[in-house]
Amino acid sequence: MAAELTPVEALIPAITLLGFGASAALASKAMRLSPIVGYLLVGILIGPGVLGLIEISSATHLLAELGVVFLLFDIGMHVSLRELNESRRDLLRLAPLHLFLTGLISAAALAMSGVDWPIAIAVGLSLGLSSTAVVARILTEREQNSCPIGRSATHVLIFQDIVAIFLMIFASSLGSEEVGAQGLAGLVSDLLLGGGDVPLAVALGLSLVQTVIAFGAALLVGKYLINPVFRTLVATRNDEAFTAFTLLLVLAAACATAVIGLSLTLGAFLAGLAVSGTPFRHQVQTEMGPFRGLLLSFFFISVGLSIDVPALMSHLGLVLLGAVGILVVKTALGYVAARVNSWSVPGATQMAFLLAQGSEFTLVVLSLGAIVAGISSGLMSSIVAAVALSLALAPSWAGLGVRLSRRLAERSKTAVETAPAGVTDRPVIVIGMSSAGRLAIDALVDHHIPYIALEGDPDRFLAAVADGYKVSFGDASNMKLVEAVGGSNARAVVLGFARYEVSREVTPTITRRFPDLQRFVAVDNRLDLERYLDIGVRAHLAGGQPKGIEMVADILLTLDVPEPEVREWMEEEAERFAIGDASSGEEKIDVDEIVGEAA
């Protein structure tokens, strides 16, 4: 047996990761680089291939995996049952098509290079996965969590994290027709097979049953156990106990799903899903935020550590070709998947670039015994390095996708002459793609209310189209344009920007032509509030976050959306805002006050 580590030997890896991680974060900010790139470069620098200050060990692997665990917990907290239900198109169409198109093409390429088909399928499907940690960080940095691109990308990642469980079972079974029994499969083995191995098909089926049971258990535990416990802890006013219980919840849930043969990350996601149904999710997110950020930095550094620098240099051409191939092929196939699922050309382009990198899970699959035995060492090192390099290039590649999607949107930019086809119900007209205008559109889409969006500024128009919004280009101060898009039949008009002089000038015309048309606006000061109210515009002082949420609550109530649904929507939007706002340590809005004033 190996000698036990001394306290100093055990602490050195953590100290090294902390010190260089902090340095990477500071240097990245000073150089205006994504922190992901800084962490990856630091991992390469301090790894065995360069300075040799730290090696991959069980301790570094655990710290890295915990980073993904806390990330999935945070994602789970921001996914409600209603959103899962409304994201059926993403979960059942976009995500499967994206995964299997990219995965099977990758598998075919590996098979053509001489890899046996079963191993090629396992590795190829793992290459079809995208990195949850990388994409979530990119969306946060670009403040795209709540826009259509961010929502759909998150749904795709959730689907992939669930599929990864079954891919691991398949990859672990290679080399035999049966898989070692564990969890529910182990129980079946003991009861029916005398402790023998369970056939692969049975193991996969039982894992699916386990996953469904785990989802149901998470919902019940959240309602009948976690909510009462949090309520009790809050009553005691013991902050330390609240933090301790939250940590216990994350780690215990992750451990529980691992014990029954699933994955740590699935347990963490289910724990977050359980918390999402309680009124304490804002506080939980605040408590867990520092842990998530710290451990995620360890994950990215560990990816850098996994790059074999000598192998990288000896197979540099193959590695570069592999990394570029991963990005280009996944971008092309991801674009096809998005277009098949009715995304616009600019939106499909940005989505494809965003999800084009490899996945941390691919590195896990490549470390399995059957995979290692079935792939030559040179090809293995090249694939690992190519995947890691694709992770390092992901922020820049996603940025290229944003710029390209905006160029594509600019090519298709045309002024609106007639009402868009397919608008048969009375729409809401949203003028100006400000943050408040985008929030209004998000709310209308969530409640299945038709809308028409107009934006006259070219830059804002291109940015909105690239982010997945359906927007028409045109100057909304032109009354003929407003009539053309359905102003005479509109249910309401949302003013994305508070331009009092323009509103005052057009008020007599609007009042005469559209006497029943209600206008809404969010303003920053009481002077504008009073001036807008005087000309008949329903103005709201934007005091909460996300900006304009008071105005949108009033819009929904005016359009006869039930008050409980408005409350639920407001709470969910406050959560989404908190993902992208690092300074958000408290609940940003008073739901009761806003709903009361709007009502």
Burial code (b: 16+ CB inside 10 Å, e: under 16) for 3-37 equals eeeeeeeeeebeebbeebbeebbeebeeeeebbbb
- Read off the CATH number of the domain in which 476 is found: 3.40.50.720
Do 395 and 438 lie in a common domain? no
How far is 421 from 443, CA to CA, in rounded Å?
A: 22
Do 399 and 467 lie in a common domain? no
Q: What is the pLDDT of residue 575?
A: 66
Q: What is the pLDDT of residue 579?
A: 47
Asked whether the beta carbons of 392 and 132 are under 8 A apart, the reply is no
Q: What is the pLDDT of residue 341?
A: 87
Measured CA to CA in angstroms, residue 442 lies from 66, 94, 166, 514, 549 at distances of 33, 20, 34, 25, 11
Instruction: Please report whether residue 1 resides in a domain.
Output: no
Q: What is the pLDDT of residue 80?
A: 64
Do 580 and 525 lie in a common domain? yes
Q: What is the pLDDT of residue 179?
A: 40
Mean pLDDT split into 10-residue runs, the chain, 599 residues: 60 81 82 75 83 76 79 73 70 89 88 84 90 83 78 86 74 53 44 48 68 77 79 78 85 82 76 78 74 79 76 78 91 92 88 90 74 77 82 87 85 47 64 88 86 83 84 70 64 85 78 80 87 87 79 88 84 64 45 58
Do 447 and 567 lie in a common domain? yes
- Read off the CATH number of the domain in which 133 is found: 1.20.1530.20
Do 382 and 465 lie in a common domain? no
Do 433 and 391 lie in a common domain? no
Instruction: Please report whether residue 556 resides in a domain.
Output: yes
- Name the phi and psi angles at 199, rounded to 5: -55, 145
Instruction: Please report whether residue 411 resides in a domain.
Output: no
- From 336, 370, 403, give the residue that closes a domain: 403
Do 468 and 508 lie in a common domain? yes
Do 387 and 447 lie in a common domain? no
DSSP string for residues in 336-389: HHHHHTT--HHHHHHHHHHT-S--HHHHHHHTSHHHHHHS-HHHHHHHHHHHHH
Do 478 and 537 lie in a common domain? yes
Instruction: Please report whether residue 423 resides in a domain.
Output: no
How far is 52 from 367, CA to CA, in rounded Å?
A: 21
Instruction: Please report whether residue 71 resides in a domain.
Output: yes
Residue of 53, 133, 207, 210 lying closest to 395 (CA atoms): 133
Do 225 and 116 lie in a common domain? yes
Q: What is the pLDDT of residue 549?
A: 86
Output DSSP code: residue 546: S
Instruction: Please report whether residue 416 resides in a domain.
Output: no
- From 368, 403, 438, give the residue that closes a domain: 403
Instruction: Please report whether residue 563 resides in a domain.
Output: yes
Tens of pLDDT, residues 346-394: 889 999 999 999 887 787 777 666 777 778 777 777 788 888 888 888 8
Q: What is the pLDDT of residue 596?
A: 61
Q: What is the pLDDT of residue 34?
A: 67
- From 386, 403, 420, give the residue that closes a domain: 403
Report the number of distinct structural domains present in the chain.
2
Instruction: Please report whether residue 344 resides in a domain.
Output: yes
Residue of 182, 254, 164, 169 lying closest to 218 (CA atoms): 254
At which residue do the structure tokens 């215990």 appear?
252
Measured CA to CA in angstroms, residue 512 lies from 156, 507, 519 at distances of 48, 8, 14
Asked whether the beta carbons of 511 and 517 are under 8 A apart, the reply is no
Domain range holding 479?
428-598
Do 262 and 121 lie in a common domain? yes
Do 436 and 388 lie in a common domain? no
